[in-house]
């Protein structure tokens, strides 16, 4: 049996069923998604900063400065690493509510800051703040410390 295949007929794809499937998918996704409702704003009352209730004269602040070469200053006095450890220990024991302000030069190696933070954690000091200084900041000897 011989089949006669006519090569002259053009093969076409019927786009009707394809368009029907696309519209059905579109309707399915529109129905299945939930429309997001606009969120209402919740009024938030922020607390007043606790530090503002304490006068700066009454708060005991000690400055610890690290210059660009990695030298430590307790207030305005240069100090070595062992003496720094002793000072942080005695500061934590004598001033449990005291505030240690650590001022680090931007160009100082980070290992010195990590060393100070490790000492503070070892001695149980938690009330400290970090400040960075640049070249235009006053020199460590110009910074006065509060007793």
pLDDT digits (tens, 9 = 90+) for 28-76: 988 888 777 777 777 777 776 555 555 555 567 888 898 888 889 988 8
Which of 25 and 109 is assigned the larger pLDDT?
Answer: 25
- 97 close to 127: Cβ distance less than 8 angstroms: yes
The reply to whether CATH 2.40.160 applies to domain 60-142 is no
Question: Tens digits of per-residue pLDDT, 65-104?
Answer: 988 888 899 888 898 888 888 888 888 888 877 788 889 8
- Environment class of residue 103 by beta-carbon count within 10 Å: exposed (0-12), middle (13-18) or buried (19+)? buried
Which of 131 and 16 is assigned the larger pLDDT?
Answer: 16
Between helix 110-123 and helix 81-94 the angle, nearest 10°, is 40
Report whether pLDDT(23) > 90. Answer: yes
Q: Determine the Cα–Cα distance for residues 48 and 64; give it in Å rounded to an integer.
A: 28
pLDDT computed for residue 56 by the predictor: 53
Three-state DSSP at 77 gives strand
Report whether pLDDT(9) > 60. Answer: yes
Q: Taking the model in full, what pTM does it have?
A: 0.52
Boundaries of every domain in the chain: 60-142
Q: Determine the Cα–Cα distance for residues 33 and 70; give it in Å rounded to an integer.
A: 60
Segment of 49-53, 59-63, 118-122, 137-141 carrying the highest mean pLDDT: 118-122
């Amino acid at each position: 049996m011989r089949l006669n295949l006519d090569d002259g007929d053009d093969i076409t794809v019927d786009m009707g069923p394809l368009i029907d499937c696309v519209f059905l998918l579109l309707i399915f996704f529109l129905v299945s998604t939930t429309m997001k409702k606009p969120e209402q704003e919740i009024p938030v009352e922020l607390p007043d900063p606790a530090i503002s209730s304490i006068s700066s004269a009454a708060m005991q602040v000690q400055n610890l400065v690290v210059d660009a070469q990695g030298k430590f200053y307790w207030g305005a006095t240069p100090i070595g690493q062992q003496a720094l450890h002793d000072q942080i220990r005695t500061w934590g024991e004598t001033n449990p509510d005291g505030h240690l302000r650590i001022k680090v030069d931007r160009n100082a190696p980070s290992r010195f800051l990590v060393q100070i933070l490790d000492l503070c954690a070892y001695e149980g000091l938690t009330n400290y703040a970090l400040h960075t200084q640049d070249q235009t900041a006053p020199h460590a000897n110009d910074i006065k410390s509060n007793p």
